[in-house]
Amino acid sequence: MRFHFSPKTPLLSLSSSSITSLCLRPFLPSAPKSHFYPSLACHVSTGGNLRMDSTSPDPSSSSSVSVDSVADGLKNQSFREHDISKNNNNMNNENKKNNGKLSLEDLNWDHSFVRELPGDPRNDSIPRQVFHACYTKVLPSAEVENPKLVAWSDSVADLLDLDPKEFGRPDFPLKFSGASPLAGAVPYAQCYGGHQFGTWAGQLGDGRAITLGEIMNSKLERWELQLKGAGKTPYSRFADGLAVLRSSIREFLCSEAMHFLGIPTTRALCLVTTGKFVTRDMFYDGNPKDEPGAVVCRVSQSFLRFGSYQIHASRGGEDLGIVRSLADYAIRHHFPHIENMSKSESLSFSTGDNDQSVVDLTSNKYAAWTVEIAERTASLVARWQGVGFTHGVLNTDNMSILGLTIDYGPFGFLDAFDPSYTPNVTDLPGRRYCFANQPDIGLWNIAQFASTLMTANLISDQEANYAMERYGTKFMDDYQAILSQKLGLQKYNKQLVNKLLSNLAVDKVDYTNFFRALSNIKADPSIPGDELLVPLKAVLLDMGKERKEAWTSWVQSYIQEHKEHVARHVFLSGYSVNHLVASGVSDEERKASMNSVNPKYVLRNYLCQSAIDAAEMGDLEEVRRLLKVMERPYDEQPGMEKYARLPPAWAYRPGVCMLSCSS
């Protein structure tokens, strides 16, 4: 039975037996206890519901494939060259300056999105419903008066082959505020819809973001440039299409901070002020105020979202063809290994208990594509959980088909470990998007995306079920691997992790600083019990006797796990313990390994606010200094220790630890 897209209700609903219940739900207030990480099988039933069954994986089952088997299997197929226009292939050496770096005028533009997909016949910015189109051509229109460059990323400039000296041009702020046209750009706003807080919201679209086009760099990589806060579009609804300095600083810094943490993300080239003020009611409490306006230039290989497909499926009829066209476009330009997979190499997997239930990913490229999107999304969410990042607004219009973190609004990194933490004041009543719920929400969003493709007859319900099953498996495999690395363990220990997370939650221990300090523990079982917690004294604060005993017990178990790991290697290798230590199984090596995955610096909300306060007073140096610190999150960075401190008391006031979607 096919699903029918309903704009009023979610297409697929998750049962209460979900990934969150397997991960962090035991540490949510009043949550039922459950076991960690049994295998997850997800199903779309013919009645239209998503069923998730906790089962133990059978290693011999063909459905229990390795975590990267699908994506890697596809990527190992032969690649075809990107379909790039002749103009972009002929990179004229005369235009290259300073070792291949280009001026703004010499950037290599391509406009595949507007060239290959249907557009709005109207070019005005009047808010309206836009039908049968993926975009509307529209020019930036934000009022600008003496714009100034606040911050920039040399790393992103390098992606574009842009000469970093271009940041010093007098007209650079004019061009990246939208006040002066950028040569070669063809600006447009994208049409998309989405589920917001679980409810279908209809048409949304780029209400204040205007894409300038795509840059092809010397590696033939495609990078879209987008100005956020550049003015009204047909998708602005009742808003003004503008952005303020406060939110723009947060988006700029976090885009770059996440990249240097090793988490897939959209990037940010630069941030400029407009010289004009924008009125915002930050807390929706009837007390608006004027704030400095700003524009951030976001950069991504694509800004396509789940909602880019949902809007056309929701409208049905001829718009179902647009879903297919958008899927073909994405596969052609961003998943070329799927476009060219070979039928001779089978990628078939059984699903469920029925031997006749087989998904052959080489027979349907859309199924292979859906599976890869599901796995990329699962891997992304696992990485968020690893660093304690909470997105805050995981609506389907904020989900990238490339598995990137996108749309930085009221995000937050965990300070004190609290699985129910949400940085979004709008999310407070139900905490739908709290830290612990993110794995479930990722799957829920994948379910909506898969149903969209089913509505367009691109995949079957069986293929949708398989994609969601792969999400569950990929998330759990990745998250277990990440937690093991953070603990310096070679193998995941469910009981040890369970107890650790429980202790962290009970004592509200700082998440980032704890894992960084943990690397100082010596794996020496002869250390006296009253000395075990000395390396953690900076993070285990104000504890009574009972809690100290609980932590001492955990550290003893942790040391024992390392001792048993060495013993296992002794048994398997026949070497002595001394030989293994000399070969690299040492406290020093473990510390270095753990510090390479446990950051010392994350973009805490209070650090953002300090930079915002300074910038609003005209001091831009703190934004730039904070960027430099976040570019090396795993390094000690002597002299920068203040950026790793616990939040001060003022950091818990509204507008710092808790934010709204208003910007």
DSSP string for residues in 82-100: ----HHHHS--GGG-BTTT
Report if residue 623 sits inside a domain.
no
Same domain, 162 and 184: yes
Report if residue 588 sits inside a domain.
yes
Give the residue from 261, 282, 304 where a domain finishes.
304
Cα–Cα distances in angstroms (integers) from residue 568 to residues 53, 523, 557, in the given order: 34, 15, 16
Report if residue 631 sits inside a domain.
no
Report if residue 612 sits inside a domain.
no
Same domain, 280 and 375: no
Report if residue 289 sits inside a domain.
yes
Report if residue 617 sits inside a domain.
no
Same domain, 430 and 508: no
Residues classed as catalytic: 397
Q: Distance (Å, rounded) from C-alpha 223 to C-alpha 270? A: 15
Backbone φ and ψ of 191, nearest 5°: -95, 125
Q: Distance (Å, rounded) from C-alpha 482 to C-alpha 488? A: 10
Same domain, 201 and 174: yes
Same domain, 427 and 465: yes
Positive or negative: CA dihedral 256, 258, 259, 264: negative
Show contacts of 123-130: CB within 8 Å, 24+ apart.
124/234, 125/231, 125/232, 125/233, 125/234, 125/236, 125/241, 126/234, 127/232, 127/234, 127/235, 127/236, 127/237, 127/238, 128/234, 129/203, 130/191, 130/203, 130/205, 130/234, 130/235
Cα–Cα distances in angstroms (integers) from residue 146 to residues 272, 273, 480, in the given order: 10, 8, 51
The 10 Å CB-count burial string (b at 16+, else e) for 192-202 is: bbbbbebebbe
Residue 525 belongs to what domain range? 490-598
The two structure tokens encoding residue 18 = 């979900």
Same domain, 471 and 327: yes
Same domain, 297 and 317: no
Provide the β-strand partners of residue 267: 299
Q: What are the residues whose beta carbons fall under 8 Å from the beta carbon of 258, sequence distance 6 or more?
A: 265, 389, 405
Same domain, 404 and 460: yes
Select from 523, 512, 498, 652 the least CA-distant residue to 581.
Answer: 523
Q: Distance (Å, rounded) from C-alpha 523 to C-alpha 530? A: 15
Residues (pLDDT < 70) of the chain are: 1-23, 25-98, 283-285, 342-357, 565-585, 660-663
Same domain, 291 and 255: yes
Same domain, 416 and 518: no
Report if residue 397 sits inside a domain.
yes
Q: Distance (Å, rounded) from C-alpha 42 to C-alpha 447? A: 10
Q: Distance (Å, rounded) from C-alpha 295 to C-alpha 273? A: 6
Same domain, 482 and 496: no
| Percentage of the chain lying above the pLDDT 70 cut | 79
Q: Distance (Å, rounded) from C-alpha 424 to C-alpha 421? A: 9
Select from 131, 117, 118, 319 the least CA-distant residue to 234.
Answer: 131
pLDDT at 414: 96
Positive or negative: CA dihedral 284, 289, 295, 296: negative
Q: How many domains does the chain have?
A: 3
Give the residue from 598, 614, 642 where a domain finishes.
598
The two structure tokens encoding residue 125 = 């910015």
Same domain, 286 and 382: no
Give the residue from 280, 304, 328 where a domain finishes.
304
Report if residue 8 sits inside a domain.
no
